[in-house]
Structures are given as structure tokens and as C-alpha cells.
Chain A
Amino acid sequence: MISEIRVAMKVNGTEYHVTTQTSRTLAEVLREDLGLLGTKIGCNKGECGACTVIMNGRSVTSCLVLAVQAEGAIITTIEGLAEGGKPSPLEQAFVEEGAVQCGFCTPGMVMSAEALLALNPHPSEAEIETALEGNLCRCTGYRKIVAAVQKASRGRE
């Protein structure tokens, strides 16, 4: 019975080797084994987007990824965006636009927006809305979130 597996993954630039049961998700390993509590678990079935991280350049809901599937993956979580202790321009734009209410959806929103801007630095409003359609904000502060992404986009080359 092979139910414990050693998984190598690079998270926020650091190489990790984790031994985990096959039943655990990437979200659980990030939070419980690596202590990266910025990644939130909301619905735990891929519908709310709170657990969004960037895996191999694409946004994914980490509650739907089995940790063992992340073997060899390059992962960025919300903790990986700040540089030198300062918020990234995207995070700063969320602060300046007041795009945070209760804050639970925010890490997922930021990661979805980060994945968008990395591929498409100057998205249209419709493209921003599509990129964020997998992230729910139950405070319903969507307008300010879109405005924050637009602000960060204006600051990009």
C-alpha cells in the first residue's frame, strides 16, 4: 500500500520535500505542513476560489489539487508576492482602492489577478471580470476589486 508519498515542489522560490498521505490536498499541505496560512480554504470543493494559487504559471484552486499531483510543480502563494517585506504593486493597489472588506477572499482574488496580469498585463474590464469569475466575494465588493486590478495594470510596463 503506497499511501505516503514524498513530494518535491518549489513554493515561493524555496524547494520543499514533503512526505504526505495521498488523501491530502495541496491547500492542506501549504497551510498545515508549510505554514502558509494566506491560502484560505472556503468551500473546499473548487467553487469559491479562496484557495487559489499559481501552479506552473496558471491559477488553480489548491483544494482540488491532490498534494501528490504537485510533484515537480512551481507554486506561488499570496506570501510569495511581497518583495523585501513590501507589498507587491498589485497588493498595494488592493489596499489603495479599498478592495478588501472581510478579507477572506482577498488572497484568492489577488492570485487570480496576478495570474491574469502575468499573461496579459493590460486586460480589458471584461477580461478582468472573466479572470475573476472563479472567485467569490460574499461582501460583494467586486467593483473595487476590478478597480484595483486596473490600477495595478496601469503601473505595469
Chain B
Amino acid sequence: MIKELEYHAAHDLKEALELAEQFGPRKRFLSGGTDMTVRLKEGLVKEDIIVDLSHVAELRFVREESGVVHVGAGATHADLSASPIVRQHGLALALAASRVGGPQIRNMGTIGGNVANASPAGDTIPALIVLDAVVSITSRTGTREVPIIDFFTGPGRSVLAAEELVTEFHFPATGPGELSAFGKLGARQAMTISTANVAFYFRIGGDRRIVEARIAFGSVAPTVVRAHKTEQMFCQLPPLLSWDAIRGAAQMAWKEVAPIDDLRATAVYRKEAVVGLLAEAAYEALASCWHER
């Protein structure tokens, strides 16, 4: 049973921001509702006013402009996984979006909701981190830009103030010689919360070495984390495709994650899982990248 709430539908961004300012911490935004409706049913929503964003069409877009990909907070996971722009210029994000829930969840759930919820298991978050995304946060008084890595302050917590709304993400479009990918492990193939997930970005030099790497892990710490030491290991890989070498580099992840035991998995399982996920996804991506060249 859901408690009775005061409900306001915002019809455009301006109205959403006015309602946010008017109600402040008493309100909670509703976007796709795939997470929020479950929380309402479980009595986990402490706010008593809902501001519904699902009719705010201007937040739902994907476009590329002068080498930068812009994704509106209202873009659904289905939009992202089907977008030729995201597939070509930020593959990790398209792959992450395609692994969220099942088709029905992807048709409703939005990237803005996935990020603003600030779950350590949010699938789009590691992808946005390795793509070096910036979050546009808007209020009635203006917009501020926050690098995604600085957005999260703990499980379910972020720098977002009560009168603010996440409106957009933007990141440099990846091009030739750059690759990114995402991998996830859950209790089953689909419709599952990540037990562990990983995203990475590699820039490959002319000598086939990885000259720049960004790696992020989810569900293995209070927030999604960057793995700087593991990134260094990948930049030291020899320019040949070796499973043992890639698996060895990925092993550094053991030292960089701090998972807990919970109902989905034990900490040790999660450490082993991120190593395997990273090694397999990296091997596959490097193999196809070198094969093309």
C-alpha cells in the first residue's frame, strides 16, 4: 500500500524548477518511476510531495555537437541503448543502459533517475565516469557543472540540493583509437541488480599500447569508484593480446575495491567478480579493436 502523496506534474523544465524551489526537501522528483514506485510501495519515501518529470519532453534527447555528446536526464535506457550516437561515441554507456532491468524497465527508467538515486549499483554510473562525463545541475538561479566522479557523496547521497535538478550529462565523443565497454554480473542474465559491474575507457596508441585508461567499478564500495592503480597496470601492458597479461593487470582491482557482504554476494565473491568482469570485457574489446586495425 502506498501512502497518499501530494502530486504535481511538471509540464516543462521551468515549471519543474519552480516546483522544486517551492517545495524544497518536502518533495521528491519522479522520472521513469521504476525505482521510486517500488520505494513508495515499501514505505521508503520520506517526502510527501511528488513532482512528476515524466511529461517534461525537453529533458529527453541525445545529440552530438562539436565533439561532445549531450544526453538529457529524461533519456530512457532504451533511448540510450538504441542511440547510434551513444553506440558510436560512448559505447560503454549504450552497453550499460542495455543491461538495466528488462525491456519494460528500460522503456521507463531514465539516466537522470539512475544517477540521481546515487545507488552504488547504478549501471549507467561507471560508464559515465569512464567517459569523463559532466553533470549539469539546474535550479531557478542557474546551472552548475559537476564532474560525475564528484557528484556522489555516499550510498543514495549526492551533492544535489533540494531545489536542484539533474538536467543533462555531457562527455567527449569517443573516436578512432578510443574504446569503451561495460560488463555486469548479477544473479541472472536480465532483470537483475548488479552484484558487481565495471566500465572502462582505453585510448590506444599507434604502437598498440594503451596510452590512457579509465576504469570504474560499481557495487563494490559505498559509491562507484575509479580504479587508478588498475588503470596504471593496463597502461603498462605489452602491445600484444595476452589473456594472462590482461588478467594479471585486472588482478590489481582486488586492492582497489572495498565491497561488503550483503544479501546479493560476499565481499570476496565481488572482488573476484570485478577482476573477471574487467579481464573478460577488456580482452574482448582489445581483440576486436586490434582485429579492425
With A58-B78, A64-B108, A69-B33 as contacts: A24 and B55 at CB distance below 8 Å: no
Size category, B interface: 20 to 34
A contact patch SS: loop
Query: Of residues 33 to 92 in A, which have CB atoms within 8 Å of B's CB atoms?
Result: 44-47, 49, 52, 58-61, 63-66, 68-69, 71-72
Task: List, in ascending order, chain B residues with CB within 8 A of A22's CB.
Answer: 4-7, 50
Task: List, in ascending order, chain A residues with CB within 8 A of B153's CB.
Answer: none
* Interface membership of chain A positions 130-157, coded 1 if the CB is closer than 8 angstroms to chain B and 0 otherwise: 1101111000000000000000000000
Query: Of residues 120 to 134 in A, which have CB atoms within 8 Å of B's CB atoms?
Result: 130-131, 133-134
| A63 to B41 alpha-carbon distance, docked (Å) | 10
B38 in contact with A46 (CB, 8 Å): yes
B191 in contact with A59 (CB, 8 Å): no
A46 in contact with B34 (CB, 8 Å): yes
With A64-B38, A68-B7 as contacts: A112 and B55 at CB distance below 8 Å: no
A134 in contact with B105 (CB, 8 Å): yes
B6 in contact with A64 (CB, 8 Å): no
* Interface membership of chain B positions 1-13, coded 1 if the CB is closer than 8 angstroms to chain A and 0 otherwise: 1111111110000
Contact of A3 among B4, B41, B52, B55 (CB under 8 A): B4
Contact of B103 among A24, A131, A136 (CB under 8 A): A131
Task: List, in ascending order, chain A residues with CB within 8 A of B41's CB.
Answer: 44-45
Q: Of all chain A residues, which has the CB nearest B3?
A: A23
A25 in the interface (beta carbon within 8 A)? yes
B107 in the interface (beta carbon within 8 A)? yes
Query: Of residues 126 to 140 in B, which have CB atoms within 8 Å of A's CB atoms?
Result: none
A64 in contact with B34 (CB, 8 Å): yes
A60 in contact with B38 (CB, 8 Å): no
B30 in contact with A66 (CB, 8 Å): yes
B52 in contact with A61 (CB, 8 Å): no
A134 in contact with B191 (CB, 8 Å): yes
A5 in the interface (beta carbon within 8 A)? yes
**Contacts between the two chains (Cβ within 8 Å), count:** 97
Task: Give chain A nearest CB distance to B49 CB in angstroms.
Answer: 9
A65 in contact with B37 (CB, 8 Å): yes
Contact of A23 among B33, B40, B191 (CB under 8 A): B40
Task: List, in ascending order, chain B residues with CB within 8 A of A5's CB.
Answer: 7
| A104 to B226 alpha-carbon distance, docked (Å) | 44
With A60-B108, A64-B108, A66-B33 as contacts: A130 and B4 at CB distance below 8 Å: no
Task: Give chain B nearest CB distance to A76 CB in angstroms.
Answer: 14
A1 in the interface (beta carbon within 8 A)? yes
Task: List, in ascending order, chain B residues with CB within 8 A of A1's CB.
Answer: 4, 6
Task: List, in ascending order, chain B residues with CB within 8 A of A49's CB.
Answer: 102, 104
| A25 to B38 alpha-carbon distance, docked (Å) | 11
With A69-B33, A133-B190 as contacts: A59 and B104 at CB distance below 8 Å: yes
Task: Give chain B nearest CB distance to A100 CB in angstroms.
Answer: 20
A23 in contact with B103 (CB, 8 Å): no
With A3-B4, A66-B37 as contacts: A134 and B54 at CB distance below 8 Å: no
Task: Give chain A nearest CB distance to B94 CB in angstroms.
Answer: 14
A2 in the interface (beta carbon within 8 A)? yes
Task: List, in ascending order, chain B residues with CB within 8 A of A52's CB.
Answer: 104
A134 in contact with B6 (CB, 8 Å): no
